[in-house]
Amino acid sequence: MYGTPAAVSHDTGILYINSELFDKLTPFQKEFVKQHEIGHYRLQTHDEFRADRYAFNKLVGKYKRSLKQSIGTLETILDGNDTEHQKRIQSMYELALKWDAEHGNVAAAREFKRIMKKVSRGDGKNTETVQAVNTAGDKMNELATIIFQGNVAEKQTENTGDNTKTLMYMMMALAIIVVLKK
Ligand SMILES: [Zn+2]
């Protein structure tokens, strides 16, 4: 248990808590760590990335600032000097951006696309990543289309006040470089 706040038995599913570390965590971080361990057991995997994803999917959208808090949890419990740990933090960041993009944050979609392009240039053999780039790109175009169509439709049917407001929100959304919604 040294150095880790919790662990799980893959045979019994019993969760072991290292209270010395666990007690220092915030309520969100405790929940994330618990779900991470449950993920190891439920998926019967030793893969840390999969367990992180499991925890993220359980908590995202259910807590305030769940995106930033998920990244923050890994930054808190992992070692920033460890290459594998750095990869887990980066992967969580990408997961949060992707979720945000898929939930309508155009700025997040743009940032996700930019990051994924960089990743795929450096590592062409990762087809999952390349696929993610394309999905993010499609999603961004889709969002842009929806916003544009919404604007045109409103111009035709609604009064100028609402229309200006919509345009203003759109400009604000575009002005943000990367701001995670939650
Ligand atoms: Zn783990």
* CA–centroid distance, residue 85 to ligand 1 (Å): 11
Q: What is the pLDDT of residue 116?
A: 83
3-state helix, strand, coil in the chain (%, to 5): 70, 5, 25
Of the residues 47, 75, 103, which one is the last residue of a structural domain?
Answer: 103
Residue 21 sits in the same domain as residue 79: yes
* CA–centroid distance, residue 151 to ligand 1 (Å): 46
> Would the pLDDT of 14 be above 50?
yes
Packing angle of the helix pair 48-59, 27-42 (nearest 10 deg): 120
How far CA 158 is from CA of 44, 152, 154, in Å, comes to 54, 10, 5
Residue 74 sits in the same domain as residue 162: no
Q: What is the pLDDT of residue 141?
A: 59
Residue 161 sits in the same domain as residue 181: yes
Q: Work out the mean pLDDT of the chain and round it to a whole number.
A: 81
> Who contacts 79 (Cβ-Cβ below 8 Å, separation ≥6)?
85
> Would the pLDDT of 50 be above 70?
yes
Q: Is-above-0.95 flag for pTM?
A: no
> Would the pLDDT of 78 be above 90?
yes
Residue range(s) defining the domain that contains residue 60: 1-103
Q: Lowest-pLDDT range, 22-26, 118-122, 171-175?
A: 171-175
Of the residues 68, 84, 103, which one is the last residue of a structural domain?
Answer: 103
* CA–centroid distance, residue 178 to ligand 1 (Å): 29
Q: Structurally, how many domains does the chain consist of?
A: 2
Check if the beta carbon of residue 56 is closer than 8 Å to that of residue 36. no
Packing angle of the helix pair 83-102, 127-157 (nearest 10 deg): 30
* CA–centroid distance, residue 17 to ligand 1 (Å): 13
* CA–centroid distance, residue 37 to ligand 1 (Å): 6
Residue 132 sits in the same domain as residue 68: no
* CA–centroid distance, residue 38 to ligand 1 (Å): 9
* CA–centroid distance, residue 4 to ligand 1 (Å): 9
> Would the pLDDT of 61 be above 90?
yes
Q: Pull the structure tokens for residue 30.
A: 């405790």
Tens of pLDDT, residues 83-104 = 999 999 999 999 999 999 999 9
* CA–centroid distance, residue 46 to ligand 1 (Å): 7
Half-sphere exposure of 151 (CA within 13 A, CB side): 14
Residue 30 sits in the same domain as residue 65: yes
Of the residues 79, 103, 127, which one is the last residue of a structural domain?
Answer: 103
> Would the pLDDT of 77 be above 80?
yes
